[in-house]
Homo-oligomer: A and B are copies of this chain.
């Protein structure tokens, strides 16, 4: 029911780089006609290999040019009650990503803001109001060398 071949992989590889390519052109690259390519894409969507199609926007143009990684340690007594914390994190749109990590800290957040003063505002008025947060460590991004959404398939 649920296995993919090398043609599927090729299709995925193209779509994760540019999902606006039309099926005819994609079919040409794969030396096929539109029908099999169309049906394969639909199957890959149905089976969950393709989760969604999105537009990637320019952070800087939209005044979100500052990236900060924020490591978070929960209070000792709260280690097992992560669910409230998770709900609060998901609700904050500045937090683009949140990972439960191994090591010195419990969570790592990736945060996008306009500048340093908005980051200060975020930490002071939003992040710090989340209960159970023990302490945090901010790692500021000076430059973005590489940023891809494409998997190495």
Q: What residues of chain A have their CB less than 8 Å away from a CB belonging to chain B?
A: 12, 15-20, 47-59, 61-62, 64, 67, 69, 86, 89-90, 93-103, 107-108, 112, 139-153
Contact = CB atoms under 8 A, between A and B. Distances in A.
Interface pairs A-B: 3 shortest CB-CB:
A93-B152, A100-B143, A15-B55
Given A69-B99, A86-B145, A89-B146, 19 more contacts: A17-B52, A17-B54, A18-B54, A19-B20, A20-B53, A49-B57, A49-B62, A50-B55, A51-B56, A54-B56, A57-B151, A59-B151, A89-B145, A97-B148, A99-B144, A101-B139, A101-B141, A101-B142, A107-B145
A92 to B, nearest CB: 8
Most buried by B among A53, A89, A140: A53
Q: How many copies does the complex hold?
A: 2
A103 B104 CA distance: 15
A148 B95 CA distance: 9
